[in-house]
Chains A and B, each alone.
Chain A
Amino acid sequence: MNTSEAMAVVLFESVHDSLRAEDILERAKLTYRAIVKPRELGSDCGVAIRLKIEDIPFFMDLVSDRAIQVKGIYHKVDGEWRQMQPPVGG
């Protein structure tokens, strides 16, 4: 697994939810980066958050407490995007 494959990309139902997630990540002192959504994951100019795969369970706990709608979590396996987490929240 190369470095990029150790990272996950989280998509959100809304820009606002991604900002709420960032706020939570900041408070939890998790390392993350807001990125432009990879083209293969949608063509709608959305913003996504990239963070370490190992932080995903903790991140999901944090966002589900706040009813943030996650559209999906993806990671790359052999150069292909795979969904590792179905949509949650609401």
Chain B
Amino acid sequence: MTLYFDSAATSFPKPPPVIESVTAALSSLMGNPFRSPGRAVERELFRTREAIAALFGIRQSARIVFTLNATSAINLALFGLLREGDRVITTSMEHNAVVRPLARLRETRGIAVEIVRGSDEGFIDPSDLARALDRPARLIVMNHASNVCGAWNEIAEVGRIAREHDCLFMVDASQSAGVIPIDVERDRIDVLACSGHKNLLGPSGTGICYLSPGINIDPLIYGGTGSASDRETMPEVLPERFEAGTLNFHGLIGLGAAVRFILETGIQTIFDAEIRLAKTMQDRLSMIGGLEIAGPASSGNRLPVFPIRCPGQDPAMLGNLLDELGVMTRTGLHCAPWAHRTIGTYPLGAVRISAGFLTPSEHIEMLGRTLESAVERLRA
């Protein structure tokens, strides 16, 4: 039996309606969206967009662009928004999905990147962001929750600060979308990027980029959209302006089923369960002698994501042993070296234990016992 504790990489299991909808789409739904007669596929994609709009309080679902993943969503927005000489504020907790595009833009467009440092626990103090806005900036880009340690920030406060300073606010919600309530109006989010396969519980190869009204940027990908085909330029209207090429529509139909599952369950119900799960796991992991847990000291503003290490040992040893014992985790830097530096786990990284809403509760105790035995073996 395998215990799955790598939910921060991708959620598992998926809700049954997701599996059923993808299977049904693959077996009986004919056509290519916007390119074939009949409208069944388009209407399914429309339903997905509407469900996502409902989840995030988005008034115009047309402004939700489907992407391959969060990375492509983030690239679309950053390369579209940032111009020569722009100043952008980000945090030391970012994933390489943000770090690398910003590095490239610094190199090619001469943008200035100011990095606000997070605390040892992985939190960002909004007052530090406010201080960074003493000088004008085009954009604040930050994650809502850390993929390394689960620390999550009150983004509404950041959104308020950004708006007060006439600065755009972009949120990478890859870890939080589907578990923490997000409302783009309340939280004053101008750009929301996230993957579909993490806590949104959909299939991989899906992501979204929401662009609020007034954000007019160039596409990153050019090509056929099935519309305005008599022109050599991309359509002006959304979402097709940013959706050249055939979409992963089977995956997006699954994403729609996943988001409807979340809406039917209730985002607040999921959030409450997630916080309880984080506490249960933090309490259980804290009982294991010889194990160090990085990130938030308490489970308050923490998703169930735990970077753990045995002091003085290469985390790879623990990760490999857990793998042998049938526990799936992820070892290393988790594509987020800045975040590991911030919480003190760089350069070796950590073994990341992460769970989600559909993790069977009995697996927590099984994980605890397996970890106890693994740590004991490593200390012997």
Contacts and interface: CB of A to CB of B under 8 A. Distances in A.
Interface string B26-48: 00000000100111001100100
A72 to B, nearest CB: 16
A44 B46 contact: no
- The 4 A-B residue pairs with the shortest CB-CB distance in the complex, in nearest-first order: A14-B237, A19-B46, A45-B229, A16-B62
Contacts of B239: 16
Contacts, number: 54
B237 A13 contact: yes
B240 A15 contact: yes
Contacts of B229: 43-45
B227 interface: yes
Interface residues of A, number: 17
Contacts of B61: 16, 20
11 contacts: A14-B235, A14-B237, A14-B238, A15-B42, A15-B227, A17-B62, A19-B42, A22-B43, A34-B38, A45-B226, A45-B227
B237 A36 contact: no
Interface of B: 34, 37-39, 42-43, 46, 49-50, 61-62, 226-231, 235, 237-240
A69 to B, nearest CB: 9
Nearest to B226: A45
Interface string A56-78: 00000000000000000000000
A25 to B, nearest CB: 11
Contact of B39 (A13, A17, A47): A47
Contacts of A17: 62
Contact of B46 (A23, A36, A42, A46): A23
A15 B226 contact: yes
B62 A43 contact: no
Nearest to A23: B46
Contacts of B235: 14
A44 B231 contact: yes
Given A20-B61, A34-B39, 12 more contacts: A14-B62, A16-B237, A16-B239, A19-B46, A20-B46, A22-B39, A22-B46, A23-B50, A44-B228, A44-B230, A45-B227, A46-B228
Contact of B34 (A15, A20, A23): A15
Interface string A1-41: 00000000000011111011011000000000010100000
Nearest to B62: A16
A14 B229 CA distance: 13
Contacts of A34: 38-39
Contact of B238 (A16, A23, A44): A16
Contacts of A15: 34, 42, 226-227, 237, 240
A15 to B, nearest CB: 5
Contacts of B62: 14, 16-17
A89 to B, nearest CB: 13
B230 A43 contact: yes
A88 to B, nearest CB: 16
Contacts of B231: 44
A22 B38 CA distance: 12
A11 to B, nearest CB: 12
A36 B238 CA distance: 20
Contacts of B227: 14-15, 44-46
A70 to B, nearest CB: 14
Nearest to B46: A19
Nearest to A37: B227
Contacts of B39: 19, 22, 34, 47
A47 B231 CA distance: 16
A28 to B, nearest CB: 16
B157 to A, nearest CB: 31
B226 A16 contact: no
Nearest to B33: A15
A47 B240 CA distance: 14
Contacts of A20: 46, 61
Contacts of A23: 43, 46, 50
Contacts of A44: 227-231
A36 B228 contact: no
